[in-house]
Amino acid sequence: MKVIVAGGGVAGAATAIALRRVGAEVTVHEAYEDPAGPVGSFLSVAVNGLRALEPLGCLEEVRRAGFAVPRQRMWSGSGRLLGDVPRGRSSGDALHSVTLMRADLVRVLREQALRSGARVVTGTRVTGATPDTGAGGVRVRFEDGGAVTADLLVGADGLWSATRRVLDPAAPVPRYAGLYHVSGVAEGLDLEPGVFNMVFARGGAFLYLPAPDGAVWWSAQVADPAPPDLADVRLEGLAEVYRHERLPREIMAASTGLHRPTLGHVLDAVPVWHDDRTVLVGDAAHPVGAGQGASMALEDAVVLARELERAASVPAALAGYERARRLRVARMVKAALANRDAKTAGPLGRWTRDLVMPVFFRHFFGRATAWLYTHDLDWRPRVGA
């Protein structure tokens, strides 16, 4: 089976590895040569995502590229502790969530894809596709005017997916979520390592994570009803947004550099995930956020390979993939929306949040998240690396 993967980020590289495990001939087409692409910040892989890495053969490499984060604490803007829970895992799980730079995760996955026999072609972008009835496949077109026929096109081309529009010209388009993101690194602060902290500030959430080398990785998720001009976003302006919160101010004051700011977007539920020869994975199908974007993409890759291995035909496999993923992803999207609403709450919403969160985290968090962190993907590939 010949497969074209549009997009070589987390979803695309992971899908390439997984499909090589079931014997497919895979070529990845990625616009950016740099594994970071246009974004150079950090991300987390929760234990459900880490378990998806195991059959891909790169769990330990990803763990070495980042660092384990056993716990997460939520704070009110006034400094009150709202919750202290396991980070990205169920209580008692020996596997711990990993945080790493996005570029490092993509690099590890691309290197594994290459070792597995996939081709990775950078500087190219898939722009369209049509059924190739004569060959029984799909004719994939590229921005340089070239085209190739494949048995399967996997759209792993992210939030602004061209493949999504190929499947459904009326597909929803991303819209601004009322948040923009700025991240950076601070030095010279004495903060407890191994803890992911989220401050629910008046101007939006502020995340910070002390790394093993003593640096503090941070991200400001600024609530703003109108998207700003990102070229005008400065550290001084952020300090004003978080002027009421002591620790965010101190962390930003100790910052040695900023990553490129980005706008947060949401996407309405995508009605069409596949046809007989084209399928969406990762953010192209379901941007989720809430620390689960990478993990859900990794799960997608494994489930797609599993269904292709088990099904009698490509169309049957793609239908099976959607059945296996649609409800789980919808549940994750609902949780992510609640997460975003907590970050953009007004005065009454903040008061209610600060009242309810301690009760939820103390009594209900474990049961409420078990479905997410204990998920079994039920697949061990038959083909080795």
Domains of the chain: 2-69+96-172+269-343 (3.50.50.60), 175-265 (3.30.70.2450)
**Rounded to whole angstroms, what are the CA distances from 70 to 89, 93, 187, 308?**
8, 10, 22, 35
The token duo for 244 is 């009421």
**Radius of gyration of the CA atoms of the chain, in A:** 21
Select from 65, 47, 67 the least CA-distant residue to 111.
Answer: 65
Q: What pLDDT score does 341 carry?
A: 66
Give the count of beta carbons closer than 10 Å to the beta carbon of residue 57.
Answer: 18
**DSSP, residue by residue, 115-184:** HTT-EEEES--EEEEEEETTTTEEEEEETTS-EEEESEEEE---TT-HHHHHH-TT----EEEEEEEEEE
What distance in Å separates the CA atoms of residue 277 and residue 138, rounded to the nearest whole number?
6
Q: What pLDDT score does 38 carry?
A: 56
Q: What are phi and psi of 265, to 5 degrees?
A: -130, 155
pTM, whole model, 2 decimals? 0.93
| Side-by-side strand order, sheet with 278-280 | 119-122, 25-30, 2-6, 152-155, 278-280
User: In Å, how far from its chain's centre is CA 220?
Assistant: 17
Is the separation of the CB atoms in 125 and 141 below 8 Å? no
Quick one: how many helices (H) and strands (E) in the chain? Answer: 11, 19
Beta strands in the chain, from DSSP E residues, in sequence order:
2-6, 25-30, 42-45, 67-68, 71-76, 81-86, 98-101, 119-122, 126-132, 137-142, 147-150, 152-155, 175-186, 195-201, 204-210, 216-223, 255-258, 262-266, 278-280
Please identify which residue in the block is written with the tokens 């819209």: 175
| 315-359 residue pLDDT tens | 999 999 999 999 999 999 888 777 666 666 677 777 788 888 888
Give the count of beta carbons closer than 10 Å to the beta carbon of residue 2.
Answer: 15
The token duo for 154 is 């996997």
Q: What pLDDT score does 35 carry?
A: 63
Q: What pLDDT score does 385 carry?
A: 43
**Strand bridging mode 147-150 / 137-142:** antiparallel
Longest dimension (CA), the chain: 66
Q: What pLDDT score does 154 carry?
A: 98
Task: Find residue 6's DSSP bridge partners.
Answer: 29, 155
Q: What pLDDT score does 114 carry?
A: 96
The token duo for 356 is 């309810």
Question: In the chain, which stretches have pLDDT less than 70?
Answer: 35-40, 339-345, 383-385
Q: At what angle do helices 293-310 and 314-343 cross, to 10 degrees?
A: 170
| 156-165 residue pLDDT tens | 999 999 999 9
